[in-house]
Amino acid sequence: MERSYEAATALALKAVGPLAAHLDRYVTSLIDKQYVVDVVYVKARRLLAFDGWLATQRLVLGELCEVDVEEYQQRSRRRCGDIRTGTRHRELCDLTQFLHFLRVQGVCEPARSNATPAEGVAAAFEHYLRHQQGLANPSVERYKTTAWQFLTERFDGGEVDLRALRPVDAIEFIQRQAKRMQPQSLKNIVNGLRSFLRYAEFRGEVTAGLVFAVPSVASWASTPQLPRGISPEHAQRALDSCDLGTAVGLRDRAVLLLLARLGLRAHEIIALQLHDIDWNTGQLQVRGKGRRDGLLPVPIDVGEAIAAYLKRGRPASIDRHVFLRSIAPIRGLMEGSYAIGTIVRDALKRAKVDAPHRGSHQFRHALAVRMLQGGASLPEIGEVLRHRSPQTTSIYARVDLISLRSLAPAWPGGAQ
């Protein structure tokens, strides 16, 4: 049979086992997500075979789980003999993906959790940080990992009793981490542990004030470090490296301009929705850190780049995110992913730019420096970058070295 979307749908309709009522909808969802024809056809063929095996086992579909998938693969291996490892792995991925689809639809029971008690508490802490505090994903992951490690070490992987925590537990934990970490990394651990203890105190599960037992980190280095931004010349070369004849090039140029002209954070670009752009007023609604939304004016070149991507580069999709993946499944860039950082790194590599960093934040720093050198005040810079604290913006005062030199007193006995 010639491979086509129609042929894949026809295969799905041949199912007569437990999957008969769901396989057609699944194939349709793959087509909607713009998987290529060959991929959809092969997935449908494998799932049709799986359906036939399920029919012989008389399994209740609602109880289908990973154990059944593994049993099917073992039986298939015995019958078919040697099969390439790559083929076997792709079959497992296809079956697991379909099982996830059934769970999302509410057809199968959720996956059984084998989480340890410490992982369960850390997961609840993660939910609090993400949905109540609105922290950025990198911070959420760091704090969650710190909480999990602290609880695992304190309770030896067993049951967690937060009421049993004492100041010495926090002190000894930080002391152990200090033996293997540099001061800046250790500060992240300290911040994460303090955040977790505040959360536990808020829930009434630890002694009030326990957070004050977490030691501070002494550091005599220049803290914070001078922000290092990409130079205007290098930023322009990165922009020019985008191939505007391709959908990916149109998308990447629009993303880079949002970084360079508006100083958006990576997660703010990922979160952009189509309705966030007001084309009539030329404004962009940004969902910042800590659930702080703001309106920013859209420069002409930024607006033109976004419009070009929407008209000629963005795949057709029901997903409302502005920027989408370029390969199936077609959907918005994953929250917490390194998609924006990858776009930046690829652009710098194409432009043969040896930048101080490879991440996206260097464009944000560069914007602040250009504003400062152009005469903008620190409060104005803080407003554009949407800083919550003036102290955060104050680091840029140390960047304008020419102005700072005029404030330095002459060295006693030195040249006047």
As annotated, the active-site residues are 265, 289, 361, 364, 387, 396
d(CA 225, CA 216): 18
Largest CA distance in the chain: 96
CA angle 262, 265, 269 (to 5 degrees): 85
Contact 309, 251 (CB under 8 A): yes
* Tokens 């930046």 found at: 344
Sign of CA dihedral 332, 337, 340, 345: negative
CB-CB contact of 191 with 135 (8 Å): no
